[in-house]
């Protein structure tokens, strides 16, 4: 097995899915975290001047999507066969459609009045739309409480991760979606993830 180092800031952000996958698999890795003071020294060494960066046996790779896909394949979180991989990618596509709406609210909008309006829309309209899609996919999987097949995949981990900040703003946001709520509990029941969540910042 290769030696892994994950380079990211000392926050969850775009590095958290990789951390969750490593811990879910029980795979040892170095979790290298940068502050605003230490990041400038490492930045010129990165492939594209941004984080996250995954270091595999000393070689650096950028782009979060590529990193997630690689780790999912290496660690066994991309489903069983091409059909399940396709189903994982479908969920990832939904997530990629949803994330820009979250980024606009949490990072881009500077006007406080507009930010409040967008947050309300995100929590009550946008989330409802995409959670309904997630619920539909979960319902179609008759074999387990996971999104795809009978085991944990990147789809479960990524959806778990993006829902977290929404729960922080609205604790009851998943309550109308029983399958999504059960899926979150299933993710949290993974021993590696459970241990990580207890110590997570």
Q: Which CATH superfamily is domain 4-76 in?
A: Glutaredoxin (3.40.30.10)
Nearest to residue 7, comparing CAs of 106, 41, 74, 81?
41
Q: How high is the pLDDT of residue 170? A: 97
The pLDDT confidence band at residue 200, using thresholds 50, 70 and 90, is confident
Domain boundaries, the chain: 4-76, 82-189
53-56/59-61 β-pairing? antiparallel
Mean pLDDT of the chain, nearest integer: 97
4-76 against 82-189: fold identical: no
The answer on pLDDT for 32 being more than 80 is yes
- For residue 80, give the DSSP letter: S
SS3 content of the chain, % helix, strand, coil (to 5): 60, 10, 30
Q: How far is CA 189 from CA 57, 174, 185, in A?
A: 31, 18, 6
- Summarize pLDDT for 163-182 with one digit per residue, the tens: 999 999 999 999 999 999 99
Q: How high is the pLDDT of residue 1? A: 81
The answer on pLDDT for 201 being more than 80 is no
Q: How far does CA 144 lie from the centroid of its chain? A: 20
- Summarize pLDDT for 119-150 with one digit per residue, the tens: 999 999 999 999 999 999 999 999 899 999 99
Q: How high is the pLDDT of residue 29? A: 98
For domain 82-189, the question of CATH label 1.20.1050.10 is answered with yes
């Amino acid at each position: 097995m290769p030696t892994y180092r994950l380079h990211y800031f000392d926050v969850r952000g775009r590095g958290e899915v990789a951390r969750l996958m490593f811990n879910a698999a029980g795979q040892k890795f170095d979790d290298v975290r940068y502050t605003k003071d230490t990041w400038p020294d490492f930045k010129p060494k990165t492939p594209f001047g941004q984080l996250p960066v995954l270091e595999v046996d000393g070689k650096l790779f950028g782009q979060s999507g590529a990193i997630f896909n690689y780790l999912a394949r290496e660690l066994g979180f991309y489903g069983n066969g091409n059909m399940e991989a396709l189903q994982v990618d479908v969920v990832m596509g939904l997530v990629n459609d949803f994330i820009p709406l979250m980024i606009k609210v949490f990072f881009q909008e500077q006007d406080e009045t507009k930010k409040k309006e967008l947050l309300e829309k995100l929590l009550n309209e946008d989330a409802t739309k995409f959670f309904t899609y997630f619920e539909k996919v979960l319902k179609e999987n008759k074999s387990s409480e996971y999104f795809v097949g009978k085991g944990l995949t990147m789809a479960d981990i990524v959806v778990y991760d993006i829902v977290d900040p929404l729960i922080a703003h609205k604790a009851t946001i998943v309550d109308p979606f029983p399958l999504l709520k059960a899926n979150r509990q299933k993710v949290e029941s993974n021993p590696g993830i459970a241990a990580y969540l207890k110590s997570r910042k």
